[in-house]
Amino acid sequence: MRWILALSTLLICSGAHAAGLTDIAARVKPAVMQLSITNSSGEVVGNGTGFFISEDGLLVTNFHVIETAHGVIAQGPDEAVVEMLGVLAQDEEKDLAILQAKGAGHRILQLGDSVDLAEGTQVVVLGSPRGLLGSFSEGIVSAVRENGLPEKYRADSRQRGRLIQITAPIAPGSSGSPVLTLDGEVIGVAQSLVVGGGNLNFAVPVEAVKELAGTIALDAKPRPFQPFPWHNLVGSMIFFAVFATVLVVVQRVGRKGSPSETRSVN
């Protein structure tokens, strides 16, 4: 009898949990956009995710998503296209950008708090992994990395600051996705993963979003999308020269065993 009662309780809890996730997905989907990145010819060369934080069109994503963009096409869950006007603010080190969309009355997500975030907290992620618009996944906060990733896992300096480690699955195209609690509040922005790490995924804390949004003046005008200065010809030559040098070093070290690779997920 006790076994039957315990099983019944488990089934009820599981049903309530599933209903809760269904409710969250329905509530947050309208505020999350798939971002297609275009080059100077208008061709789509990459994709990521973004989400609205204001009804008048402030949209959050990762800086690396729009870093080389000549244009951005935003698409909602109903596949309707939202015109993006440009960039209002960016923080390269924290890997965040706030874009301006045309129009008003956009559905928005509420920004929560990650300061006292505990390991084991259940989270969900809604984004566009591999370009699959409106994909929903769940997991937990597995760690809060106050000093970012250990050196061997860092792809660049953007992973030195505080990061939230999660088990909710993400993939290329998930960059810029909101990481939410079961209350539907944003606690982070999906940023990167360890390749082959088995759900070693990372998000930028929501406090960095609030800080960046606070720098935008009321009369701020978005700047047009354009690749950042280091993507010009000279910058490219320097990049490839450095890359070639690093590649030689990595190949030499790699013979004794290479560390896991961390990559952004746009």
> Of the given ranges (35-49, 79-93, 215-229, 243-257), which has the lowest mean pLDDT?
243-257
User: What are the Cα distances from residue 178, in Å, to 118, 151, 166, 257?
Assistant: 18, 26, 12, 35
- Catalytic residue status for 64: yes
Domain-wise residue ranges, the chain:
110-206, 233-258
**Percentage of the chain lying above the pLDDT 90 cut:** 67
Q: Is the pLDDT of residue 124 over 80?
A: yes
Could you tell me the fold of the domain covering 110-206? Answer: Thrombin, subunit H (2.40.10)
DSSP 102-114: SSS-----EE---
Tokens describing residue 68: 């080389």
List 36, 64, 135, 264, catalytic entry = 64
- Catalytic residue status for 40: no
List 114, 135, 137, 175, catalytic entry = 175
- The predicted-structure confidence for 130-178, as pLDDT tens digits, reads as follows 999 999 999 999 999 998 888 777 766 666 789 999 999 999 999 999 9
- Catalytic residue status for 95: yes
Q: What is the mean pLDDT of residues 53-82?
A: 95
- Where are the extended beta strands (E) located within 28-128? 32-38, 44-52, 58-61, 71-75, 81-91, 96-101, 110-111, 122-127
